Amino acid sequence: MTQNLILASTSPFRRELLTRLGLPFETANPETDETPLPGETPEHIALRLSEAKARAVAKQHPGALIIGSDQVATVDGRLFGKPGNHERAVEQLRSLSGKTVNFFTGLCLLNARTGFAEVRGVPTLVTFRKLDDREIENYLRREPAYNCAGSAKSEGLGIALLSSMRGDDPNALVGLPLIALCDLLRNQGVTVLS
């Protein structure tokens, strides 16, 4: 690989996922305003922010290949972000109980040398079981998922809150769709299995 690979994220979950590919990479904080634009669809938010994060990091790494990713969770048109605290996480899990959530992950690979960005969206449909308040409190006490959209970590104990998951890439739900990323890397001449 002739260009450095940069992950435009401080997420430990995304870093761990990218490590699985065995490619050398660095991480950088994208410092991007994640406020939705007026009238913006959730899918557009994720796609726009994944590219915005990559472009923000490109300023400090002009010759690199930069990976940006963003995820939104929606039910019936309502956007669910990171709850940030216990009370909002409880409220989110009550709202998601018995419902199917679309976790839409935007992915961008930006060639900072050429300015070319390829952007993809990867949906994952997750159905939550009917949850009672005791289960919600017990879950959040054991795994306070305050930094996860939807307030549940499917890669951890949060899997016990779910009844089904449907999608093309199980890694997308954690925040970095590796199947799509491998395809984007190949398009830039980077082979994971060289």
Residues belonging to the active site: 70
| Angstrom distances, CA of residue 115 to CA of 129, 186, 189 | 44, 17, 15
Chain centre to alpha carbon of residue 76: 20
73 φ/ψ angles, rounded to the nearest 5 degrees: -120, 130
Torsion of CA 168, 178, 106, 123, to 10 degrees: 10
Chain centre to alpha carbon of residue 193: 24
Residue whose pair of structure tokens reads 């409220």 in the numeric block: 91
Q: What type of residue is 164?
A: S
Q: C-alpha angle 172/70/131, rounded to 5°?
A: 60
